[in-house]
Amino acid sequence: MTLTLVQLRVFLTAVELGSFTAAASRLHMAQPSVSEFVRRMEDGYGTQLFVRGGRRLILTSAGEALVPHAERAVAAADEADRALRAVTSLSGGRASFGLLRNAKYYSLEALLAQFHARHPDVRLRVVGLNSVEVASAVSSGELEAGLVVLPIDGEGLRVTPLQRDEVVYVSADPERASEPLTIEELARRRLVLYDAHYGWADPTRRQIAERAQLAGVTVEAVIEVEQVESALALVRAGMADTFVSRAVADGAAFPEGLHSVSFAEPLYDTIALIQKENAVLSPATTELIRLARILIAERPAAG
């Protein structure tokens, strides 16, 4: 015989209240149904669980032996129910998500604040890395999904482009940013580039390198730093020039005294959503993605 959760709940309620009638009332069942559940348990194992006849049900030795096991089984089922309800109702659960390095320039910090305000009981794990590492983390299953700048190595990933953002050349010298820049001219300029850790694996740099290769020139950095803010500070000091996305150049934190210009052949970063192919996302991460898509769609797109 296999005991069911319903039988165990009926048994434990009868133990707690000491009466089949009281148990039936608590469980919103008919008293004969409660008695029948217990009788079937007793018949199935050939032993009595209660001594009947007095004013209160008394457990037999078999009944006493069953109590702790029944309690653990029912508690585990209740915990499983709470966990599933928490995830599916967004009253709990967890979302794991990756953001591109310069997320703040795309107002993506507002995404986290908005999500947390709506779902304060959901645990958020948000990793802000270069797009290369976000793609790797999603591919390995460490993160459920993420926003990246293309191109990335997308094998095994579902890639959904969302918006383009122009890449522009930046200099402290207005003459150097007076007209659109060719890749050949860029190769002759002194450059300070950010994302030193990833170097030319960075998606924007990869596009520059591919153009340079086609033109038969080499683009190199005389200074490499990790943060875009550090690169811009060095540009402002007149040490070198750089290139950044339009979101950075148009941002409130863009240093005064710097000038930006498009490339002669316009260059774009493409922001994309990635997730592992055939992966089932948690409801929390699905909702985070929905809000991210809305937020990005509200930004003016590049031409």
Alpha carbon distance 155, 187 (integer Å) = 31
* Average per-residue pLDDT for the chain: 91
Between residues 225 and 54, which one has the greater pLDDT?
225
- Structural domain includes residue 226: yes
Residue 90 has pLDDT above 80, yes or no: no
Alpha carbon distance 234, 170 (integer Å) = 11
Alpha carbon distance 193, 205 (integer Å) = 9
Between residues 93 and 27, which one has the greater pLDDT?
27
Beta bridge partners of 168: 244
Report strand pairing: 242-245 vs 157-171.
Answer: antiparallel
pLDDT for position 70? 94
pTM summary value: 0.69
Number of domains into which the chain is organized: 3
Residue 170 has pLDDT above 70, yes or no: yes
Residues in contact with 158: Cβ distance below 8 Å, sequence separation at least 6, in sequence order: 274, 275, 276, 277
Same domain, 68 and 146: no
Domain CATH code at residue 280: 3.40.190.10
- Structural domain includes residue 302: no
Beta bridge partners of 29: none
Residue 138 has pLDDT above 70, yes or no: yes
Same domain, 227 and 81: no
Return the structure tokens found at 161: 């482009």
pLDDT for position 226? 94
Same domain, 82 and 26: yes
- What does the chain look like in DSSP terms, one character per residue? ----HHHHHHHHHHHHHS-HHHHHHHHT--HHHHHHHHHHHHHHHTS-SEE-SSSS-EE-HHHHHHHHHHHHHHHHHHHHHHHHHHHHHTSS-EEEEEE-TTGGGGTHHHHHHHHHHH-TTSEEEEEE--HHHHHHHHHHTSSSEEEEEEP---TTEEEEEEEEEEEEEEESSGGGGSSPBPHHHHHHS-BEES-TTTGGGSHHHHHHHHHHHHHT-----SEE-SSHHHHHHHHHTTS-BEEEEHHHHTSTTSPTT-EEE-BSS-EEEEEEEEEETT----HHHHHHHHHHHHHHHTSPPP-
Domain CATH code at residue 208: 3.40.190.290
Domain CATH code at residue 74: 1.10.10.10
Q: What is the percentage of the chain residues whose pLDDT exceeds 70?
A: 96
Domain that holds residue 223: 163-268
Residue 120 has pLDDT above 80, yes or no: yes
